Chain A
Amino acid sequence: MYFTTGTYFVFLMAVFFGYWALAGRPRWRLAFLAAASCFFYSLMGVRGLLLLVAVSLVDFTTTTLMAGAEAHRRRKLLFISLAVDIGTLCAFKYAGFFIETSAGALSILGVTLPFPAFEIVAPAGISFFIFQSTAYVIDVYRKDTEPAGSYLDYLAFLSFFPTIVAGPILRARQLLPHLRRAVALDASSGGAALFLIAIGLIKKIAIADYLSANLVDRVFDFPERFSSLEVLAAIYGYAVQIYADFSGYSDIAIGSAMLLGFTLPVNFNAPYRSRDLPEFWRRWHISLSTWLRDYLFFTIAGSRRRNWVSLYCGVIVTMLIGGLWHGASSTFVMWGLLHGVGLAGVRVLDGLRRRHGWARGSSPWSNALGVVITFHFVCFTWIFFRADTIDRAAAVIRRLFSLTSLTADLSNLTPPVALVMALGFVAHWFPDRLYDGAANGFIKLPSLAQACVLFALAVGLYFVASSDIAPFIYSRF
């Protein structure tokens, strides 16, 4: 059940009315929310739900036992939880990849071992709920958060239907304490939630799916059939597509949670406005980048004193693992590696700048140059993220720089596609007051007018839809 289907909105309405009918009975309300979330997730596969229940049972038990335990015992419990969480993720997502890679490496050395063919289809959202549960266990171990009051609380937190498939990756403190507290929803928050869901749908259907179907997929499937300029346009198109797709998902998730009285953290903040790569990662998939920083980078590089080896290696290894988190594929490894090297490179430059007392340019031109360079670096890495294989990515790059295809031919870039792409970029620079004005305008409408606007939007999106309920890109991870 994807967020863009009518089925989801029927489900969301049913949950909305059931949830608020039980608002005065926290335990029942929580049980209803957990049941609805489990039902939602089970529609994507009962196997995934069973796995989620198993992981949540282990992590809830270990964190409960941590309370009042000695440091030595706490470490043991932490180790058990991490072994289960990471082991589950590796078994379901990376076993085949590691076996294949090992076989390839050994074959280079002339050793051929009869590795079994190993393919397990990972349940949707496994990377998200495993990271969320792991963060909870580490937070409880570090005493940064209190253990969940009951298993029901923890199950409701981990299976929370707006975030279960593709985040944002929640920290326990962002949701767990609020689950049993009294919740509230006024007309303003309700209107804002519906407006946010509408924006998310526009981003997903009218921008991401449209660009995917009408340009990006075609070029990435057969780059050799397109001119260099068209390949370049497709790479830009993918940059807009993945942003609109994922931030659209996040908007719908945040809006859905708002309808139930919860406020989730923001996950995107105009990422293509970034002037350097570290800023990009402060604006892109914020819940993942902060997770990687807090639980991986600080562990590898240490949170305070760092020598340059631990710093740069820490950045590169963190981003490599971040790449691998997206999927067991050499393309994601390459994507992570490029970002790791890029981030390390920016740090080296910053160090040189400080050492030599060079001032960082802050003029509009230097800012614009920074934005252009950062954007194109990110676009280059998107080639690996989007391509199915390294060979395919290489084919795209070859085509991009092929002199024989360096023509002015843009016949496959139709005006509507160019317009949608331009809209995707320009929206990054929309003045705040424009968005706020539209949101407030919607909020102030009478309920019937709000319904008419939403219905007109739904019909409009139905007719402009370029694909038949395309899954969100990040729901694969």
Chain B
Amino acid sequence: MNRIVEISDPARPTRMLAERNQSDGSYVLLGKTARTLVSFLLLAILPYLVPGLGRYRILPASTMLGTSAKESARESASQAGKAELGSRAGQTEVEPTPGGVEDLSGQALEHFFRALHETETTEAQTRVCHYGDSPITNDGITSTVRRKLQLRFGDAGHGFVLAARPWAWYQHAGVYHEAASSWNSDPMFISKGDHLFGLGGASFTADSTSASASFGTAEDGEVGRLVSTFDIYFLAQPGGGDFEIDIDGVPQARVSTSSESVKSSFHEVRVPEGPHRMTLKPAGNGEVRVFGVALETSGRGVQYDSLGVNGAFIGLLAHYIDEQHWAEQLRHRRPDLVIIGYGANESQFERLPMDQYEKDTREVIRRIRSALPDVSILFVGPMDRGERGAGGKVLTRPMIKKLIAYQRRLAAESGCAFFDTFTAMGGEGTVAKWREARPRLMGGDFTHPTAQGAEIVGTLIYDAMMRAYEQYKERRQH
């Protein structure tokens, strides 16, 4: 790969000149190199003249004079998808609202906004559960929404954190969280175990005293600095062991997880409001199964749970988490708003069975409403997700727009609100632009935003929520 230097010889042009004794370049213009270049140019132009050779267009004219065959085929497929979607989605037509929350009923977020208004005007709290896939697991997007809501309405505590880390990149901003690696983690996925995954979609078991998990207030930052209650979510089960709790290094309690039947259980540890750290560890007398801990304060404000599961899709909440168990978890948590933000994983299947997708989405809505009849539900559509196309161009996955159209229609038909993240980000081609931006906004997998990109997406969601909330307040006044 490096030997070409040997062809280069500093004295060569001079020597050649001496041999040729030519002072003009006409011989070069008629020479072999020139003929090669002209032939190459003619070959490169040929695909523009012969329609059947369209896919071999490599000159810059491919972007100025037309598209390559790959791009044409892709466009056709996209149009066909739109046509199919139009015929299937014809029951309810919803006008997109770029950058805003779409709510055909006008009542979808009523419960949430009422709670938010009470929080703003009294000492009440508002709780949000944000379910999502891998972009949510590192709390990048959700921490932005949480921080902004808490700065405006008050910090009622960090909210729910998984007991340990099912994925190395699982992390939450604005909270202290450490867990030993000896916890056996079981995140929600197809046909795994007993389908009891807690509020956050993952359960953790341990029977050794070497397993511990610590939760506490953040040491820096604008939010998450106070706590007055650690609410532990665990599974009571026959033969369950005990776990010990200490607060700020002082032993506080020993809790048994033994029970005659398997059921969701909760244990609240109250502390004087302030910065604290709680450590939980199995006592060693049997298996302990813990889901997570919610950090709360007693004052007014917002709690915003980031509940991302790696590789998650809507079907998991519809079929692979036990309905009764999830309902128990949701009822205990009492969110005023449940956000459903899936789509990235579904988008990689170009032949996703949309009938099943629709059924699953409706089932998730039914399950949430069955557990919490008054709760508001907001669908947050998938972000732009890219893949490589012709010439290495980064293109939006065709399924993204299809999924958005389905989510928009299903939300409208079910009395839920919808936020089109894809359009708010900039629509088609955003992922390529975000990838090239400095600092980078999108990772090299064209799926996960960087910290800066997540901040933007979180801000878009927050801004859309707040615009809708201001409209709610205006309606209230009238």
Query: Which residues of A approach B to under 8 Å, CB–CB?
Result: 5-7, 10, 13, 16-17, 19-24, 178, 181-187, 189-196, 199, 203, 209, 212-213, 216-222, 224-225, 247, 251, 254, 258-259, 261-264, 266, 268-270, 388, 399, 402, 404-405, 427-428, 430, 432, 435-436, 439, 447-448, 450-452, 454-455, 458-459, 462-463, 465-470
Contact A13 B392 (CB under 8 A): no
| Most chain B CB within a 10 A radius of its CB, from A186, A199, A439 | A186
Distance, CA A251 to CA B399, complexed state (A): 41
- Cross-chain contact of A10 among B8, B39, B59, B62 (Cβ < 8 A): B59
Distance, CA A269 to CA B37, complexed state (A): 29
- Cross-chain contact of B443 among A24, A218, A463 (Cβ < 8 A): A218
- Cross-chain contact of B59 among A6, A16, A219, A264 (Cβ < 8 A): A6
| Chain A hits for B432, CB < 8 A | 468
Contact B36 A435 (CB under 8 A): no
**Nearest CB in chain B: distance from A340 CB, A:** 25
| Most chain B CB within a 10 A radius of its CB, from A182, A212, A216 | A182
Residue of B nearest to A389 (CB): B439
Interface residues of B in 1-49 (CB under 8 A from A): 1-10, 12-14, 16-17, 20, 22-26, 28-29, 31-44
**Nearest CB in chain A: distance from B400 CB, A:** 18
Distance, CA A222 to CA B444, complexed state (A): 9
- Known contacts A187-B33, A190-B33; is A213 also within 8 Å of B392 by CB? yes
Q: Known contacts A21-B25, A430-B1; can you find 6 more A-B pairs with CB under 8 A? A: A6-B62, A10-B59, A184-B28, A193-B33, A225-B448, A462-B58
Distance, CA A270 to CA B14, complexed state (A): 28
Distance, CA A17 to CA B60, complexed state (A): 20
| Chain B hits for A212, CB < 8 A | 444
**Nearest CB in chain B: distance from A444 CB, A:** 11
The total number of A-B Cβ pairs within 8 Å is 211
- Known contacts A184-B20, A225-B169, A262-B13; is A455 also within 8 Å of B37 by CB? no
| B50 CB-CB contact with A under 8 Å | no
| Chain A hits for B3, CB < 8 A | 430, 432, 435-436, 439
Contact B13 A459 (CB under 8 A): no
Contact B7 A405 (CB under 8 A): no
| Chain A hits for B41, CB < 8 A | 13
**Nearest CB in chain A: distance from B55 CB, A:** 9
| B269 CB-CB contact with A under 8 Å | no
Contact B448 A222 (CB under 8 A): yes
Distance, CA A55 to CA B9, complexed state (A): 31
Contact B39 A222 (CB under 8 A): no
Residue of A nearest to B46 (CB): A455
- Cross-chain contact of B392 among A10, A263, A452, A466 (Cβ < 8 A): A466
| Chain A hits for B250, CB < 8 A | none
Contact A192 B25 (CB under 8 A): no
Distance, CA A447 to CA B39, complexed state (A): 8
Interface residues of B in 49-64 (CB under 8 A from A): 56, 58-62
Distance, CA A20 to CA B181, complexed state (A): 70
Contact A388 B28 (CB under 8 A): no
Distance, CA A13 to CA B42, complexed state (A): 12
Contact A185 B58 (CB under 8 A): no
Contact B28 A185 (CB under 8 A): yes
Q: Is the interface of A mostly helix, strand, loop or mixed?
A: helix
Interface size on B, as a range, is 35 or more
| Most chain B CB within a 10 A radius of its CB, from A184, A262, A264 | A184
- Cross-chain contact of A222 among B6, B29, B443 (Cβ < 8 A): B443
Query: Which residues of B approach A to under 8 Å, CB–CB?
Result: 1-10, 12-14, 16-17, 20, 22-26, 28-29, 31-44, 56, 58-62, 167-169, 181, 388, 390-394, 432, 439-440, 443-445, 448, 450
| Chain A hits for B60, CB < 8 A | 5-7, 10
Contact B1 A184 (CB under 8 A): no
Distance, CA A213 to CA B388, complexed state (A): 9
- Cross-chain contact of B169 among A20, A220, A222, A261 (Cβ < 8 A): A222
Contact A184 B440 (CB under 8 A): no
List 24 A–B pairs whose Cβ atoms lie within 8 Å, in order of A's numbering: A6-B61, A10-B59, A17-B29, A20-B25, A23-B26, A183-B17, A185-B28, A192-B8, A203-B1, A219-B444, A221-B444, A221-B450, A222-B448, A263-B9, A263-B12, A266-B2, A435-B3, A447-B39, A448-B39, A450-B40, A451-B35, A466-B392, A468-B392, A470-B392
| Chain B hits for A467, CB < 8 A | 388, 392, 394
| Chain B hits for A251, CB < 8 A | 4
| Chain B hits for A270, CB < 8 A | 1-2
- Known contacts A428-B1, A455-B43; is A185 also within 8 Å of B444 by CB? no
Contact A16 B34 (CB under 8 A): yes
Contact B25 A22 (CB under 8 A): yes
Residue of A nearest to B167 (CB): A225
| Most chain B CB within a 10 A radius of its CB, from A10, A263, A268, A436 | A263
Top 8 A-B residue pairs of the complex, sorted by shortest distance between their CB atoms = A23-B25, A190-B33, A217-B444, A24-B24, A451-B39, A465-B392, A20-B25, A266-B5
**Nearest CB in chain A: distance from B441 CB, A:** 11
- Known contacts A23-B28, A436-B3; is A264 also within 8 Å of B40 by CB? no
Distance, CA A222 to CA B442, complexed state (A): 11
Contact B2 A183 (CB under 8 A): no
| Chain A hits for B38, CB < 8 A | 451
| Chain A hits for B444, CB < 8 A | 212-213, 216-221
- Cross-chain contact of B4 among A23, A196, A402 (Cβ < 8 A): A196
Contact A263 B13 (CB under 8 A): yes
**Nearest CB in chain A: distance from B448 CB, A:** 6
Contact B392 A458 (CB under 8 A): no
- Cross-chain contact of B33 among A191, A432, A466 (Cβ < 8 A): A191
Distance, CA A170 to CA B39, complexed state (A): 33
Contact A221 B169 (CB under 8 A): no
**Nearest CB in chain B: distance from A428 CB, A:** 7
Residue of A nearest to B439 (CB): A388
| Chain A hits for B445, CB < 8 A | 218, 221-222
Contact A263 B10 (CB under 8 A): yes
Contact B58 A19 (CB under 8 A): no
Distance, CA A365 to CA B22, complexed state (A): 54
**Nearest CB in chain B: distance from A332 CB, A:** 16
Contact B1 A199 (CB under 8 A): yes
Distance, CA A451 to CA B43, complexed state (A): 8
**Nearest CB in chain A: distance from B457 CB, A:** 16
Residue of B nearest to A202 (CB): B1
Distance, CA A110 to CA B439, complexed state (A): 29
- Known contacts A183-B13, A432-B6, A458-B44; is A468 also within 8 Å of B25 by CB? no
| Chain B hits for A10, CB < 8 A | 59-60
- Known contacts A16-B37, A266-B8; is A224 also within 8 Å of B31 by CB? no
Contact B28 A447 (CB under 8 A): no
- Known contacts A182-B23, A454-B40; is A6 also within 8 Å of B58 by CB? yes
| Chain B hits for A448, CB < 8 A | 35-36, 39
| Chain B hits for A259, CB < 8 A | 33
Residue of B nearest to A186 (CB): B16
Contact B168 A185 (CB under 8 A): no
Residue of B nearest to A243 (CB): B1
